[in-house]
Amino acid sequence: GGRPAPANAEEAYELAAPGSPVVLEWKSPELTLRLRCLRTTGGITDTLGIDPKARPRGKALETGINTRRKAAEEFLTKDGADPLCPGFALVEIDRRQDFAHRLDDPKYALRLGCADAGVLTQFALVPKKAKGHNTEKNLLHRVHSGWEDALRQYGVRVLPEHTLGEALPEDLRYVATYMVKRRKDGPTRLPRHTPVAVMVTPLAPGSGLAAVAGWDERTGRWIPYPRFLLGLVKTAEIPEVSEPAGADTAPVSEASAFVPRQRSKYRIWHQNMDQQRKATARYLQKMIRSLRGRPTVLLTHSQNSRLHWPWLQDGQTERDLIKTGHAQPVGLDPDLRLVRVRTAVGRETPQWWGNAAPGEVNGLPQGLWTEDEDAIRSSGRIFYSTTPKAGTFRDSAVEADKIAPRPLRQGPNKGKPTIDTHIPAWNPGLVEIAVLGCHLNAGDSPEALALAVHQLRQAPDYLDALSLPLPLHLASLAQHYVLPTVAEGEDESVEEPAADKTESTVDGQRVVAALGLITEEADTEPADVDPEYAEDPGLAQAPEDEQLALFS
């Protein structure tokens, strides 16, 4: 409903503005969907206008982002956006190459401003046809993908349920933890390390329905996925730091005594790896404590998280134990299972498998693979997951060769030479699934747990298999909202009205009741700073003289 008449449709869309949009409406017994069509007036999708010669460049970018962020928030607020009722905006924007330089792209400033207004975002390129660039021919596909991502950001996903029946605990849920790492060359030019955690809880066995929630460290609660994403914008803020008292013991004149507080250089905010690990440990301890009371599989990503959670390293972990800080390893809670996933990143898993008989062609078989029982170091806890070839690579052959011709092995042209120069090559990945912790005495089967994790890669909402299990996939995508910015001063913060707090609390209690969660009050202790570091791990301090001799 609400669609303008064809005769004046173009004029109606041209005049659409905040407060007077073109509203399209669809109704079903379960849902009413309203689409508010607005022109991006006020130049909010235009270039940020940053002078590439401005110095310091970081300050110029900060000013540009803050200005556009406030403009985007005001734009949506005028149209009735409500932070207590998350919405979604599909924004048409030019591609990055169309702006004068990298810093001029307003995409991230828009995402921040929309999040401040309580609106999730996805972007679609403006239809444009130019030399070497045509976004008109795939417009429908890109818009369709944008709306599909809207459902994902709302937490609407079909859970690929396991087929193991009683081999796994009843009401098993999945939690994935992921370390978001923003570097100094990232979207906002500010580094930040932030752990995130996502919970996927089945609602009705056999239906694929699931509740998706995220861990809010500030409140110590699991909150709905869309609110979790919006809250990450605040989580990623970098506090304003004053110079410590006593840093300068020189006498202070009366004129200089009233110099306003200066923002410290960001390097003061840099913390060493030990402090970053402590912050991560606090996060993990509180989050894991909330999982008690219901069977849970905790999924982790080896390459992503082991630097900040050293227990995941091969030389550290011990079977059926867990360690999240400096304390000694302890046994897992009765309802907790720990699974570590390792991908082919850094060539840490084999690049080839499925060895054929002599004279035959090595293949790329799919499925879940176990260690050879006759292997010398077989643990019974390591498994490998492989998936079918992606649909976009259906013409890619196992023997594909882009350099020299090869004979065809089947079809009417069998035996004739061919070359695969024009065909995209399929580079599969072998995913390792390590069941680090379970309860064998209580009937747990490591193989069953690994198979359930393997099946989590076969999500029905996606055309092809995921590179990570669905919960880890959702956790990794949360990084789109971890956009570090400098927080406003404390005097500029405004307390929310009591009514808003009450409504938010009631909503959170509903999530707690539905998911069976254990919550705790937020810790008032300020969190350790956890930014990206300039040097590689271990290089923060200069080497000793005797170490230098090793490189001479």
Is the domain of 104 the same as that of 169? Answer: no
Is the domain of 84 the same as that of 219? Answer: no
Residues 6+ positions from 267 with CB-CB distance below 8 Å: 534
Which whole number is the average pLDDT over 396-419?
Answer: 88
Q: What is the pTM of this model?
A: 0.82
Cα–Cα distance, 267 to 263 (Å, whole number) = 11
Model confidence at 540, pLDDT cuts 50, 70, 90, reads very low
Has residue 248 been placed in a domain?
no
Has residue 217 been placed in a domain?
yes
137-151, 286-300, 372-386, 530-544: the lowest-pLDDT one: 530-544
Helix (H, G, I), strand (E, B) or coil at 153: helix
1-10, 23-32, 42-51, 238-247: the lowest-pLDDT one: 238-247
Q: Which of 486, 513, 538 is the last residue of a domain?
A: 486
Cα–Cα distance, 74 to 82 (Å, whole number) = 12
Cα–Cα distance, 146 to 462 (Å, whole number) = 13
Q: What radius of gyration do the chain's Cα atoms show?
A: 27
- Checking if the pLDDT of 538 tops 50, the result is no
CATH number at residue 432: 3.30.420
Is the domain of 166 the same as that of 46? Answer: no
Has residue 103 been placed in a domain?
yes
Chain mean pLDDT for the chain: 83
Is the domain of 77 the same as that of 135? Answer: yes
Cα–Cα distance, 146 to 150 (Å, whole number) = 6
Cα–Cα distance, 458 to 162 (Å, whole number) = 10
Q: What's the pLDDT tens digit per position in 449-490?
A: 999 999 999 999 998 999 999 999 999 999 999 999 988 754
Residues 6+ positions from 263 with CB-CB distance below 8 Å: 240, 241, 486
Is the domain of 354 the same as that of 472? Answer: yes
pLDDT at 7: 67
Q: Which of 96, 121, 154 is the last residue of a domain?
A: 154
pLDDT at 496: 38
How many domains is the chain built from? 2
Give the number of other Cβ atoms within 10 Å of residue 211's Cβ.
18
Domain region containing 206: 160-238+270-389+426-486
Is the domain of 196 the same as that of 117? Answer: no
Residues 6+ positions from 169 with CB-CB distance below 8 Å: 295, 335
pLDDT at 270: 53
Identify the top-confidence range among 38-52, 301-315, 357-371. Answer: 301-315
Has residue 297 been placed in a domain?
yes
- Distance from the Cα of residue 325 to its chain's centroid: 24
Has residue 46 been placed in a domain?
yes
Q: What's the pLDDT tens digit per position in 11-49?
A: 888 999 999 999 999 999 988 999 999 999 999 999 999
More confident residue, 534 or 118: 118
Is the domain of 173 the same as that of 146? Answer: no
pLDDT at 511: 52
Is the domain of 437 the same as that of 327? Answer: yes
Q: Which of 154, 187, 212 is the last residue of a domain?
A: 154
205-214, 247-256, 409-418, 469-478: the lowest-pLDDT one: 247-256
Is the domain of 100 the same as that of 188? Answer: no
Has residue 394 been placed in a domain?
no
Has residue 171 been placed in a domain?
yes
- Checking if the pLDDT of 391 tops 50, the result is yes
Is 174 in contact with 456 (CB distance < 8 Å)?
Answer: yes
Is the domain of 207 the same as that of 78? Answer: no
Residues 6+ positions from 31 with CB-CB distance below 8 Å: none
Has residue 501 been placed in a domain?
no
Q: What's the pLDDT tens digit per position in 164-182?
A: 999 999 999 999 999 999 9
Is 516 in contact with 291 (CB distance < 8 Å)?
Answer: no
% of the chain beyond a pLDDT of 70: 81
Position 26, amino acid: W
pLDDT at 154: 96
Is the domain of 178 the same as that of 113? Answer: no
Is the domain of 114 the same as that of 176? Answer: no
Q: What's the pLDDT tens digit per position in 321-354?
A: 999 998 999 999 999 999 999 999 999 998 877 7
